[in-house]
């Protein structure tokens, strides 16, 4: 029984490690590529609701840049954080997270795309959720909330109870499992 439990924990840990996050605000293309290469990223998932600025990171330009470095590009605008939700939450980030997670559950298209992304994540590939927001604080940006939702979906499929919540230092928690 313990061996089965450890296998589930290891699978969840591998899944969690396959999902990285990055922002593009204030970053030049060469710097972004360095970051993606350092993280050994195979697939970039662009979850910006509005993705035309800066112009060198507009979807077509981003796709071309990544293709030149053998990185696949997926554009999931529907997993972005809609401006109406951001405006409604204002500076209340707990409410912003609640509204965002509610949106990806209740909006039909967002839910379908979330499930599609969840099914695509495989252990042989490293994924990076890209958005504009420059924060590294998981409490403040939807790219972290989406990662939490993906990890929690995996937890449920593995039969775990409770929820996973990113904090500022998630790595030590994951390393304990190895």
At 72-102, the pLDDT tens digits run 999 999 999 999 999 999 989 999 999 999 9
Name the phi and psi angles at 118, rounded to 5. -55, -45
Q: Which two tokens stand for residue 130?
A: 């890209």
pTM of the prediction?
Answer: 0.86
Provide the pLDDT for residue 167.
58
Is 144's pLDDT higher than 90? Answer: yes
**Regarding the domain delimited by 2-172, which CATH topology (the fold level of the hierarchy) does it fall under?**
3.90.190
Characterize the bridge pairing of strands 127-131 and 19-23: parallel
Mean pLDDT of 143-172: 78
Q: Give the Cα separation of 152 and 166 in Å (integer).
A: 11
Is 139's pLDDT higher than 60? Answer: yes
Provide the pLDDT for residue 133.
84
Mean pLDDT of 42-46: 97
Is 168's pLDDT higher than 80? Answer: no
Q: What is the DSSP string of 43-76?
A: EEEE--SS--SSGGGSHHHHHHHHHTTT-EEEE-
Provide the pLDDT for residue 170.
41
How many percent of the chain have pLDDT more than 90? 64
Is 54's pLDDT higher than 90? Answer: no
């Amino acid at each position: 029984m313990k061996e089965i439990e450890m296998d589930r924990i290891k699978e969840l840990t591998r899944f969690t490690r396959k999902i990285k996050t990055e922002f593009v605000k204030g970053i030049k293309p060469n710097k972004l590529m360095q970051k993606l290469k350092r993280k050994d990223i195979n697939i970039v998932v662009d979850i910006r609701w509005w993705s035309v600025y800066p112009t060198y990171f507009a979807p077509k330009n981003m796709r071309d840049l990544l293709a030149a470095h053998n990185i696949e590009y997926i554009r999931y605008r529907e997993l972005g954080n809609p401006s109406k939700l951001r405006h409604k939450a204002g500076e209340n980030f707990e409410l912003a997270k609640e509204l965002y997670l509610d949106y990806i559950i209740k909006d039909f298209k967002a839910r379908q795309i979330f499930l599609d992304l969840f099914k695509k994540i495989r252990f042989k590939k490293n994924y990076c959720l890209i958005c504009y927001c420059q924060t590294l604080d998981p409490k403040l940006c939807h790219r972290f909330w989406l990662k939490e939702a993906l990890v929690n979906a995996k937890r449920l499929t593995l039969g775990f109870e409770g929820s996973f919540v990113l904090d500022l230092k998630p790595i030590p928690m994951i390393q304990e499992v190895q």
